[in-house]
Amino acid sequence: MKKLLSFLIILVMLYCLGLSSSWADSSDTFQITVTCNYLSINLRNNGDTADYTTWAIGQKAENTPTTMTQAEGIKVVNTSNAATDLSAWVSTPAAAWTNQNAAGADQYKLEMKCYDATQASPDLSSGTFTITSTSTPGNDIKAGLAATTNQWAYCKFTTPTSTTSGAQQTITVTILATTAS
């Protein structure tokens, strides 16, 4: 009986040793979570009922500044998940005119200004950014825009002081969102 009891004790000890070694893991895991900066903007009309397409200024005299009204303003809907900078450039220039820092002969001046809310009477008499660039990334119009925060952009367009063309001019402006610097 002593032998049987000794054998059983040894068997229980071996079993316990086996259990304790099975409790120790030889490997473990961890997870990686990552989110990339996602930059996305949409240009909408001031009432946010349709995409923004055209600011139709119409026919103006030479050297005439025209400022967007509240209804003509551009709502920049920012769905980015990171802080962004906004810039703008003339991506398709006018056929007969160039964009410059000041209106001149066959030269127009385009200014932009962003606001945190729609403006009943946009004031573009100061604090504007002149759009002289014709390529990306363009001229800064808003720095450090918080993620998912919208902006309202307004333009002021000054016609050339003189022109060699009386034809309608069409200009395309591109607004770009980049990761805030």
- Whether residue 5 is predicted with pLDDT greater than 70 in this model: the reply is no
Q: What is the pLDDT of residues 117-148, one digit of tens each?
A: 999 999 999 999 999 999 988 999 999 999 99
Query: Buried b / exposed e across 150-169, counting CB within 10 Å, b at 16+?
Result: bbbbbbbbbbbeebeeeeeb
- Whether residue 19 is predicted with pLDDT greater than 80 in this model: the reply is no
Q: Is 21 helix (H, G, I), strand (E, B) or coil?
A: helix
Q: What is the pLDDT of residues 46-103, one digit of tens each?
A: 999 999 999 999 999 999 999 999 999 999 999 999 999 999 999 999 999 999 999 9
pLDDT at 25: 77
pLDDT at 4: 58
- Whether residue 13 is predicted with pLDDT greater than 90 in this model: the reply is no
Task: Kindly list the distances between the CA atom of residue 157 and the CA atoms of 32, 57, 124, in Å, as whole numbers in the listed order.
Answer: 50, 9, 10
pLDDT at 51: 97
> Tokens 């998940």 sit at which residue?
81
* 17 against 80, higher pLDDT: 80
Q: Show Cβ contacts of residue 9 under 8 Å, excluding neighbours closer than 6 positions.
A: none
Cβ proximity of 63 and 163 under 8 Å: no
- Whether residue 1 is predicted with pLDDT greater than 80 in this model: the reply is no
Which residue, among 174, 177, 152, 158, has the nearest Cα to 73 in the 3D structure? 152
Query: Residue 57, class by beta-carbon neighbours within 10 Å (0-12 exposed, 13-18 middle, 19+ buried)?
Result: middle
Q: What is the mean pLDDT of residues 24-48?
A: 93
